[in-house]
């Protein structure tokens, strides 16, 4: 039987360095069948709350974090020459880490950008035909994601994550195109060993 809660405490990392509060991540990005690519990113701990539960077996700590998130990635479809894109997005992650180090997270990234890269493209304007330099299009692309992961305490490679991501490419053709992908990767850090 669990006894009561509890105590909420602010994290003591306020005086930590930037690197102590930052984790980097690298992973797969895509939907396996059509688009596949790579994501690089970083997350910075903005707020952190730890709840300590007293149980018969001892203390259990549940951590809630808000992290500032930034991602840069590239994906392509190997079966055609039309679906290459660079994306970057920024926002917030809310993450809960259980006493057994399992994590659940929700991401909201309102600042998102997608740039498609097209093969040889010709622009027709009236009777004029000209070749387009660096052909492609830019789209405002906010994203949302939710997923799970597992934390590794005190390690350089500090855990893995698996997210389901939904991005909204706006204005794509005459509407808003939702694209779905999964993200699987590992986080790592350059924190000073204590």
Interface residue list for other proteins (CB under 8 A): 31, 33-35, 77-83, 116, 118-125, 127, 129, 132, 135, 137, 139, 171-175, 177-180
Q: Which is nearer to other proteins, 58 or 175 (CB)?
A: 175
Q: Which of 75, 88, 96, 76 is nearest to 146 (CA)?
A: 96
Q: Which is nearer to other proteins, 52 or 176 (CB)?
A: 176
Q: Closest separation between CB of residue 114 and other proteins, Å? A: 10
Q: Within 13 Å of residue 59, how many CA atoms lie on the same side as its CB?
A: 8
Q: Closest separation between CB of residue 106 and other proteins, Å? A: 23
Rounded-to-integer distance, Cα 57 and Cα 129, Å: 75
Q: Which is nearer to other proteins, 15 or 120 (CB)?
A: 120
For residue 65, the surrounding DSSP H or E stretch is strand 58-76
Rounded-to-integer distance, Cα 67 and Cα 64, Å: 10
Structural contact between residues 66 and 82, judged by C-beta atoms closer than 8 angstroms: no
Q: Closest separation between CB of residue 161 and other proteins, Å? A: 24
Q: Which is nearer to other proteins, 42 or 118 (CB)?
A: 118
């Amino acid at each position: 039987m669990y006894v009561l809660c509890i105590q909420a405490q602010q994290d003591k990392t306020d005086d930590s360095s930037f690197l102590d509060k930052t984790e980097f991540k690298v992973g797969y990005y895509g939907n396996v069948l059509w688009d596949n690519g790579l994501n690089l990113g970083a997350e910075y701990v903005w707020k952190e709350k730890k709840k300590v539960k007293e149980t018969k077996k001892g203390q259990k700590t549940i951590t809630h974090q808000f992290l500032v998130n930034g991602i840069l990635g590239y994906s392509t479809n190997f079966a055609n020459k039309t679906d290459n894109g660079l994306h970057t997005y920024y926002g917030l992650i809310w993450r809960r880490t259980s006493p057994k180090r399992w994590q659940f997270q929700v991401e909201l990234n309102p600042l998102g950008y997608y740039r498609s890269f097209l093969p040889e493209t010709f622009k027709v304007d009236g009777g004029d035909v000209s070749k387009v330099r660096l052909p492609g299009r830019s789209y405002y692309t906010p994203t949302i994601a939710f997923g799970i992961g597992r934390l590794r305490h005190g390690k350089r490679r500090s855990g893995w994550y698996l997210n389901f991501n939904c991005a909204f490419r706006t204005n794509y053709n005459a509407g808003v195109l939702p694209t779905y992908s999964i993200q699987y990767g590992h986080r790592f850090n350059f924190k000073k060993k204590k």
